[in-house]
Structure 1
Amino acid sequence: MKHAIASLRFSLDESGAPYYQQLMIQIQQGVVSGELSVGDKLPSSRFLAGSLGVSRSTTSRAYDQLIAEGILTSEEKRGVFVAALPMVSNRLKKMPNSSVPSTQKHLETLAFDSGVDVSVFPTKEWAASMRRSWLNPDLTVLQGGYLTGYPDLKEAIVDYLYRVRGLECVAEQVIVTAGARDSLLLLQHAITVLARSETHSDDRLGAQTIKWWTEEPTYPPIREAIRLHEQTGALLIDEEGPCLPASDTVSNVAVMTPNRQYPLGVSISSARRQRWIQAMQMTNTRWWLIEDDYDNEFVYQGRSNVPFMQTVSVHDQAKDRVFFVGSFSKVLFRGLRLGFIVAPVVHVPVLQQSQRELGASASLPIQPAVADFMLQGNFDRHLNRMRRHYRLKRDALLILLEAHLATWFDWKKPRGGMHVMIEIKPNFVSMIHSEICLDLLITQSLDSKGVVLSPLSVHYVNAQIDGRRLGFLLGFSGPTEEKMEKIIMALKKWFTTTLRNI
């Protein structure tokens, strides 16, 4: 089936490759060939799915993956566009034609993935929760009510956060969202309203200015989500966590992962945490914090000893400036698309108003099932099983690294999380000359062989600048041990072959 869409003619066939991968490849080819230029708008996922005769989840998955890789960008209420980041065009244009696999020839895709291992998901217990929650459905759910989330689910989240992470809150503070990205979009709207209201009430401050800060390095979709703001900045990471930058801007918003910084894995020190709390009490330069707790359910040695910023902020003014973000995508399954915000009580009305204006995007019908799954105790049992399961997978990956890649890479054994970060040793970086970062070069070289890697350099604002840490993020929770070994051996072969030819 072929359809003329924008300047491309997409074609999906029965070659064996998943439709979403075929679509991703053709969009990449369009960027490489020039048929798609920077700023070009792509059709909506719904329109594209209808034109191609596939499900919307297929087109949404292709778009989401390309947005995560920085090739596409999503703009609120405008659509999806070809990204303008310099590294995107450099990365794709430097790819030889052979590195973009044909849809006619299906290669087994090998990739590290820090997503959920759905092969061990408790489908029987989940099905029972689905059935129970809809035997006598809540009429308000059927009518599309509960703007901030299903009440039983909010209560279950409150109980869970207190038992597992020591965060004290009430159901009123919980806003259920469609995942981390939706949470960030909602918070951008709400904090902008709060900051403007605050500064407009202070004649000394004059015109409102807000600066948005992300960690450096950080998860690319987070940086992409805020880059449309007029002013943005980078929070440098050292051994104590995110550094507090000097800023002469009236209002500042920091998006951070203090418990286990992504991707470096650093935990914020108590001294650094105290500096941030003090900054939130200042009146001349005002700070707001969005704290993302993305995978801290999985701690393999002891328990997490890094408290939430909300928990340790004894000063009310500091507490009222911290928003906590959580998600179910790492603990249940990615397709669930449910997350939540824990907001200071005083700011809940503004979050509610922002959600009315933007529209609630979290699926309400699935929330009673999640609530039942948690209240029946199946959620806790599932987490305990997955902690053991992922610890064994982590240990298997570490054994593979020690056996095959210790010559070229350094790494630390992570106490928790779902990925291992490996860094290329500096002497090998200097030996192999390249116009682009070495980890990007390796990624491109192995892509043609069906091996997909996540290079560390793309998590920085500019992957071309010297001095960035180079390496890979190896998500061990998703792939099988067999697939992990194949990727490790491909990396080993690349180094041995390349260094032999130098």
Structure 2
Amino acid sequence: MSYAPLPSPAARLATVASSPVRDLLALTSRPEVISFSGGLPAPDLFDVAGLARSFEHVLRTDGRRALQYSPSEGNPALRATIAARAPVPTAPEDVLVTTGSQQALTLVATALLEPGDTVLVEEPAYLSAIQCFQLAGARLVAVPSDADGPDVEQLISLIQSEKPKLFYLVPTFQNPTGRTLSAARREAIARSAGQHGVWIVEDDPYTELRYDGAPIPPIAAHPAAADRTILLGSFSKIVAPGLRLGWLRAPAGLRAALIVAKQAADLHTSTIDQAAAAHYLANTDLSLHLDRVRSAYRTRRDAMLTVLPAVLPAGSEWTRPSGGMFVWVRLPSGFVSSDLLPYALKNDVAYVPGAPFYVRDPDLATLRLSFSTHSPERTIEGLERLRPVFTGAICP
């Protein structure tokens, strides 16, 4: 007996490229590989003992409730803690707990976008955000940027010509470049969104990983953008990504739609993880933990920046981030970073080529290096493995 062929996967998936970062995780799982590809927090800095105590406490004292369904908006104690720690005045009811900040992006796309709507993104942009908006059927338009972030005049011009629904950006220690948007540009972006009726999605997972300089208030703090900025945050970078706990802060007029989108996605984020995180945050000196993390990451960043001049070919350029996890490299004209990656992998070291971070017309000479995962000694060893790749000793 013959059977009819099954329907094909949804056509919208054909427009969404696979993440090279996720693909590289499989290739770099061997312990001998030194990977600068993923934006992975350092596992040696996870507070495993503290989290274990919180999970044990929750299961022992309130296990039945912690293992039950819970409100879509999130654990009340966790929402209150998030509100208290937010970089702008926030009430617990302003907060929606999400399964990682990646889900927050998906909920925003579900609540705001129709297929064909225009979304403005930075150039280059966070790869998973590109995937999320592509999956929603949006038309992505990149805002030209310089070393200080999106060009505001170009942004205004694109808002006027393209009529976007929203503008997505990571203003602080951006992924992939590590750059930080100045206070003046943040204010100008807020004014532009206010004048032209555009939502701002401000992704802010790295702001507490600052190693130099003073904090800059988020775009959400500016009055012109207060009613149109959706602020995203995450515990992945400051506690542990395996918890998959993120959050969003949204204006009142949008929260009901986001909650419905959350209910349709997964009903609620893991009850036990939320309860344990709430207990952990209430009973841990998070400032002390973050001081330890920042000290370690600062040393790792400095190790990478010290060695790069000797590793990269003459004429290369790279960012010098004041925080976060990433250094963005532009090799000299004629280099194609994706062509060199197989030789790097053969040398048991990895990075992410820059092309997938562009909506179109990528700069093929760019690449992203993450400095957070490895010790300074391991970082230096990995960069030394890259030296012959870039100098041509093992290139075709």
Indicate the TM-score class for this superposition, using the shorter chain for normalisation: 0.7 to 0.9
Relative distance call for 1:380 and 1:133 in structure 2 (3 A) is farther
User: Structure 1 residue 250: deviation in Å?
Assistant: 5.1
Q: How far apart, in 1, do the equivalents of 2:382 and 2:8 lie?
A: 35
Corresponding residue for 2:238? Answer: 331
In structure 1, give the amino acid aligned to 2:111.
Answer: A
**Corresponding position: 1:400 with 2:321:** no
What does residue range 361-376 of structure 1 map to in structure 2 within 5 Å? 361-376=268-283
Q: How far apart, in 2, do the equivalents of 1:181 and 1:406 lie?
A: 35
8 Å contact kept, 1:209–1:249: no
**Corresponding position: 1:242 with 2:155:** no
In structure 1, give the amino acid aligned to 2:340.
Answer: I
User: Structure 1 residue 335: deviation in Å?
Assistant: 1.3
**Corresponding position: 1:231 with 2:126:** no
**Corresponding position: 1:143 with 2:41:** no
Other structure's SS at 2:202 match: strand
Unaligned runs of 5+ residues in structure 2 are 1-6
Relative distance call for 1:344 and 1:411 in structure 2 (3 A) is same
8 Å contact kept, 1:177–1:360: no
Q: How far apart, in 2, do the equivalents of 1:276 and 1:294 lie?
A: 19
Corresponding residue for 1:175? Answer: 96
1:388 equivalent among 266, 277, 295? 295
User: Structure 1 residue 422: deviation in Å?
Assistant: 2.5
User: Structure 1 residue 416: deviation in Å?
Assistant: 0.8
Query: For 1:458-495, what per-residue CA distance to the aligned partner results, in whole angstroms no more than 9, with x for missing partners?
Result: 31124xx47x2723222111123343223212221123
**Corresponding position: 1:360 with 2:267:** yes
User: Structure 1 residue 251: deviation in Å?
Assistant: 5.1
Identity %: 25
Relative distance call for 1:499 and 1:371 in structure 2 (3 A) is closer
**Corresponding position: 1:296 with 2:207:** yes
Relative distance call for 1:328 and 1:87 in structure 2 (3 A) is closer
What does residue range 129-278 of structure 1 map to in structure 2 within 5 Å? 129-137=54-62, 140-161=65-86, 165=87, 167-192=88-113, 210-228=117-135, 229-243=137-151, 244=155, 245-248=158-161, 252-278=165-191
2:359 equivalent among 461, 474, 480? 461
Q: How far apart, in 2, do the equivalents of 1:214 and 1:240 lie?
A: 15
User: Structure 1 residue 130: deviation in Å?
Assistant: 1.6
Other structure's SS at 2:323 match: coil
Q: How far apart, in 1, do the equivalents of 2:395 and 2:50 lie?
A: 54
Other structure's SS at 1:149 match: coil
Give the TM-score of the pair, scaled to structure 1.
0.68
8 Å contact kept, 1:250–1:286: no
Relative distance call for 1:137 and 1:87 in structure 2 (3 A) is closer
Q: How far apart, in 1, do the equivalents of 2:57 and 2:203 lie?
A: 32
In structure 2, give the amino acid aligned to 1:276.
Answer: I
Unaligned runs of 5+ residues in structure 1 are 1-38, 42-77, 93-99, 197-207, 433-437
Q: How far apart, in 2, do the equivalents of 1:236 and 1:390 lie?
A: 30
Q: Which has the higher contact order (CA 8 A, sep 6+)?
A: 2
Corresponding residue for 1:108? Answer: 32
Query: For 1:296-348, what per-residue CA distance to the aligned partner results, in whole angstroms no more than 9, with x for missing partners?
Result: 211111332x2111211x24xx3111000011111122211110001113332
User: Structure 1 residue 217: deviation in Å?
Assistant: 0.8
Report the number of matched residues. Answer: 378
Corresponding residue for 2:49? Answer: 124
Other structure's SS at 1:341 match: strand
In structure 2, give the amino acid aligned to 1:456.
Answer: G
Other structure's SS at 2:57 match: helix
Give the TM-score of the pair, scaled to structure 2.
0.84
Aligned-residue Cα RMSD (Å) equals 3.2
Query: For 1:233-287, what per-residue CA distance to the aligned partner results, in whole angstroms no more than 9, with x for missing partners?
Result: 21221244223124345552111112233222332234433332223333xx520
Q: How far apart, in 2, do the equivalents of 1:420 and 1:377 lie?
A: 31
1:440 equivalent among 331, 338, 345? 338
